[in-house]
Amino acid sequence: MQAGKSSSDIDAKIGALVQAAHLRMRERRLDEAAQSWREVLALKPDHPQALLHLGQHSLFRKDLGEAGRFFALAETADPKNALIPLNAAFVHRARADARAEMAALNRSLTIDAYFFPALLAKAMLLERVGETRRAAQVFKDVLTIAPPADQLTPELRQALEHARAAVEDNRKALDAHLAAALAGIRARHAGAPLARFDECKDIAIGRAEAKVQQPTLLLVPRLPAIPFYDNADFPWLERLEAATPAIRDELRALVNEGGQGFKPYVDHPDGGPLNQWAGLNRSMDWSALFLWKDGERLDENCRRAPRTAEALAAAQMADIDGYAPTAFFSVLQPKSRIPPHTGVTNARLICHLPLIVPEGCAFRVGNETRPWREGEAWVFDDTIEHAAWNDSDEIRIILILDVWNPLLSAAERELVAGLLNATRSFYGELPSASF
């Protein structure tokens, strides 16, 4: 402490100097700012901010020796500040000392493993020294923790683009390596169904994301997450497919009546969150005419489409009082899309029977995309993220119905129905009850 100066007087003077230094830095009066920081050090030699900023100023002036000295003192004064060893790493980079640079970056990341600038600098260092595969792995982590683009400088946005390119180049190289390594095994199993393994491989190399069941209402555990089920699990599907011409004729008659009975499929109440449904809420871009809804048979609509109602009666639809079955004609207008979403429970699955499908229509469940083909039904687990689109200039119409998951026993089906209804009776009304 200086003679004749109280501790509070010195603290006040340091505070004024720090404020002046920051002001001069914002005004780009860097030499004057450095002088203010030196005056701070004269009063408090271990002031961490002063040591850090004087180190940065020395680095800017390319005085590497002085910069290194200031950063070493700053690390001692403030050992939990990840920014200080990052700056020390810049000194070592300027000296082309990769080993010391990596040590400094690791010290920074030891303090904060999610410190974005240090992680990016580490990836770039690995790339510079030729460790491109390790660099790609770190670049992948960089992309995971990167702030939004609008919060980054143009230089950092450019660095992120480089990171994406490095990750993609590494993915392609790994894919080619795996193709060569697995070619013999594939040859020994020629003709075997390998779609599940191929998705496994794509997830492993980062080309695809793991898509899991995400029901919004009820999860039955230990049921497999199968995007599209084997049609052989549903013997009645052949009869439904055989009825396609009759069902399509009835559908066309309904459409020709001016669309009477068709309503927006998405109809959320005012005041609630819309999220991905904002563009479709109360829109006829995706509309439906229900034959069954939440377990209730709509007799008038079934009367207007008797052959369709007959075909539905022969299907093994889910049966839960107040919830299921639900069956409807689904109309997707030209140039319309249904955004990615998930359904309410894996206790039941969804069946599609395509009726009118122009070119340019497709459906994705998880990582698997398929085009609809008229008269060819499929069954899928809608608790796995799925989406649909109609990029054509014509309407697309399919028949949709829900069916029991065939892996549930009769006892489990009855108990699931009992669980849902008992829960609803407990609360009086259960949100998201619609299947």
pLDDT at residue number 424: 86
Span 50-66, average pLDDT:
93
Q: Tokens 């049966």 label which residue? A: 319
Handedness of CA 337, 343, 346, 350 (dihedral sign): negative
| Range with lowest mean pLDDT among 15-29, 207-221, 242-256, 338-352 | 15-29
Q: Is the pLDDT of residue 143 over 90?
A: yes
pLDDT band at 1 (very low <50, low <70, confident <90, very high): very low
Q: Which strand (E) or helix (H) includes residue 369?
A: strand 368-370
Q: Is the pLDDT of residue 18 over 60?
A: yes
* Percent share of the chain, pLDDT over 90: 82
The pTM for the full model equals 0.79
Mean pLDDT (the chain, rounded): 93
pLDDT band at 434 (very low <50, low <70, confident <90, very high): low
pLDDT at residue number 5: 60
pLDDT at residue number 21: 81
pLDDT at residue number 10: 85
Q: Is the pLDDT of residue 59 over 80?
A: yes
Q: Is the pLDDT of residue 20 over 90?
A: no
pLDDT at residue number 430: 55
Would you list the DSSP string of 375-411?
T--EEE-TTB-EEEEE-SSS-EEEEEEEEE-TTS-HH
Would you list the DSSP string of 171-221?
HHHHHHHHHHHHHHHHHHTTTS--HHHHHHHHHHTTSS----B--SSB--T
- Is the domain defined by 7-169 classed in CATH 2.40.30.170? no
**Max avg pLDDT among 37-41, 190-194, 260-264, 387-391:** 387-391
10 Å Cβ neighbour count for 320? Answer: 24
Q: Tokens 């690390």 label which residue? A: 75
pLDDT tens string 274-286: 889 999 999 999 9
Distance CA 132, CA 177 (A): 15
- Is the domain defined by 231-427 classed in CATH 2.60.120.330? yes
pLDDT band at 380 (very low <50, low <70, confident <90, very high): very high
Distance from chain centroid for Cα 363: 18
Q: Tokens 């940065």 label which residue? A: 56
pLDDT tens string 177-192: 999 999 999 999 999 9
What are the residue ranges spanned by the domains of the chain? 7-169, 231-427
Span 287-295, average pLDDT:
96
Say if CB 57 and CB 38 are below 8 A apart. Answer: no
pLDDT tens string 77-98: 999 999 999 999 999 999 999 9
Q: Is the pLDDT of residue 361 over 50?
A: yes
Span 15-22, average pLDDT:
86
